[in-house]
Amino acid sequence: MAVEKATFTIPEQLLRRLEKVPAGKRSLLVAEALRRELDRRGMAKDLKKLRRNTAWKEKDHPDLLTPEDFGNYRPAKSRITG
C-alpha cells in the first residue's frame, strides 16, 4: 500500500498523549484510529439511508404487528420449546 505524509492540527493534550506511544507506532495508531472513525461515519450514513427506505412496511403485513403475531407465524418446528 502506498503511503503519504500528512500534516494536520490536533489539540495539545491529545498530542501529548500521542507522544507517549513509541515513535515507530504513532503513524500506525493514527491511521488505524482514522480508518475506524471514517468507517463508523460511513456506516452511520448508510444506516440513515436505510432508515428512510424501510423495506418492511406495516401496511403490507397487518398480520405481523406484535411479537405474538410473529410467534404464531413461525413454523412449529422452529419454535424453541422448554
Q: Is residue 6 part of a domain?
A: no
The three cell numbers of residue 22 are 513509541
| Whole-number pLDDT of residue 32 | 97
Is 57 a domain residue? yes
**Residue 36 domain-assigned (yes or no):** yes
pLDDT on residue 1? 83
Any domain includes 17:
no
CA 2 to chain centre: 26
Q: Residue 70 and residue 82: Cα distance in Å, rounded? A: 18
Do residues 63 and 74 lie in contact, with contact meaning Cβ atoms separated by under 8 Å?
no
pLDDT of residue 74: 67
The tally of domains found in the chain comes to: 1
- Asked if residue 33 is part of any domain, the answer here is yes
All 3 cell numbers of residue 28?
500506525
Average confidence (pLDDT) per 10 residues, the chain, 82 residues: 93 97 96 96 88 78 85 66 56
